[in-house]
Structure 1
Amino acid sequence: MSTLHPGRPRAFDREQAVLSAARLFWESGYSGTSTRALTHALGISTSSLYAAFGSKAGLFEEAVKTYAERYREIYRQAAGERDIRLVVDHILTHSVYEFTQPADHHPGCLVTSAVLADSAETIDVRTYIADLHQDNERTLLARVQRAEEEGQLPPDASVSALTGLVQAVWHGLSVQSNLGVPRDELLAAADLAIRQFARRS
């Protein structure tokens, strides 16, 4: 587009726009966030929003994917740890830090918020989040299975149960972070879960 809309700033910062939108979606959900609220927060006109993101749903999708992919990377990096206890520590601790990034450059755990979207427009995002969780669980399950093969787990340990325990704690920490539980309390809960895992493994 050669001519900027009068309501659009000269330097359109897409990253900042996605962050601003993500924050609104986190606070109000998809249906509760109006296009008007989005254009006001982003400082652009409705036509500029549609030109940049295609639609409100397109902006929501980009916001979710921008922040959700960070969790996939946490799981991938954790799988490279040499000891299964370090794997769990990495997943839970790094995720808590990600959940509780300073608000000026992070919207909160949009992964949890995204699955609560209730519009047919966002079905692809809900599918994406479900796939993300499944992929992360598969990554962890494979790593726990490897730990079993390497003798890091007791003979009676259940690979699926241990994986499920970590996933349940992860989701609980995510929800708590959205409720405003401070980082230090989340880290304390994560540490307790890690120690419980260590006892079972």
Structure 2
Amino acid sequence: MSSTTRGRPSTFSRDRAILGAARLFWRHGYSGTSTRTLTTELGISTSSLYAAFGSKAGLFEETVRTYAERYREIYQQAVAEPDVLAVIERVLVDSVGEFTQSSEVHPGCLISSAALADSTSTLDARAYIADLQASNAEALLTRLRQAASDGELRPGVSPETLTSFIQSVWHGLSAQSNLGAGRDELLDTARLTLRLIARQTLATSSQA
């Protein structure tokens, strides 16, 4: 038996453990979540937690990366779309889908959570998320610059300004989801944003 599985109960689910830990970290932060609280929530012993994740810090790092990296995937898939409005639609609509997943399978959006106020010796969550968001924004900006070069945007429309606007809406949707806004409400906002962008920035508004 390997060292990574020794001491864990036969019913141990790594995914469920990460989800349960994420709920605690998101709510209370890293420092505010004790190892005892984690083991009680996950239904495992301290030795099992260490066998599975190495340490409390290792568990925290894995929870942050597990849920934050999904946003990178959304942006990477979005910028691969051939149509610029489809790019923006996927960024906003797919993110709303991520923000509003059932609490049974998702701990909520990390971006506005208590976890960002804390750091560990292995991962500075605030810096990690800032770098992730900068990477996502840069990927979107590169795609919008290509759209401008291809004539998809109206002359004079700044890809930088449009990127900033989309990112501002994205953060607003994230914040609203954490305040309890439902999926339909957030989708309405996302689709209004798409209509405004189509009318004001695209070379043809026939897609609105």
Whether the TM-score (by the shorter chain) exceeds 0.5 is yes
Give the deviation of 1:110 after TM superposition.
1.9
Task: Give SS of 1:153's match.
Answer: coil
- AA aligned to 1:161 is T
CA distance in 2, matches of 1:36, 1:24: 12
List aligned pairs for 1:163-178, cutoff 5 A.
Answer: 163-178=163-178
- AA aligned to 2:86 is L
Contact 2:118 2:125 in 1 (8 A): no
Structure 2 counterpart of 1:49: 49
Deviates more, 1:176-185 or 1:140-149: 176-185
Is residue 102 of structure 1 aligned with residue 96 of structure 2? no
- Once the two structures are aligned, what percentage of the paired residues are identical? 60
TM-score by length of 1: 0.90
Structure 1 counterpart of 2:204: none
Give the deviation of 1:104 after TM superposition.
0.8
CA distance in 2, matches of 1:70, 1:171: 15
Gaps of 5+ in 2: 202-208
Gaps of 5+ in 1: none
Give the deviation of 1:181 after TM superposition.
1.1
Structure 2 counterpart of 1:134: 134
List aligned pairs for 1:8-87, cutoff 5 A.
Answer: 8-87=8-87
List aligned pairs for 1:131-170, cutoff 5 A.
Answer: 131-170=131-170
Give the deviation of 1:52 after TM superposition.
1.7
Deviates more, 1:153-162 or 1:190-199: 190-199
Give the deviation of 1:54 after TM superposition.
2.1
Contact 1:111 1:129 in 2 (8 A): yes
Task: Give SS of 2:175's match.
Answer: helix
Structure 1 counterpart of 2:92: 92
Contact 2:5 2:52 in 1 (8 A): no
- AA aligned to 1:10 is S
Aligned length: 199
- Root-mean-square deviation over aligned CA pairs: 2.0
CA distance in 1, matches of 2:17, 2:5: 19
Kindly tell me: are residues 70 and 172 of structure 1, through their superposed partners in 2, closer, same or farther at Cα, counting changes over 3 Å? same
Task: Give SS of 2:116's match.
Answer: coil
CA distance in 1, matches of 2:155, 2:180: 40
Task: Give SS of 1:174's match.
Answer: helix
Kindly tell me: are residues 44 and 15 of structure 1, through their superposed partners in 2, closer, same or farther at Cα, counting changes over 3 Å? same
CA distance in 2, matches of 1:2, 1:142: 41
CA distance in 1, matches of 2:51, 2:191: 46
Kindly tell me: are residues 25 and 2 of structure 1, through their superposed partners in 2, closer, same or farther at Cα, counting changes over 3 Å? closer
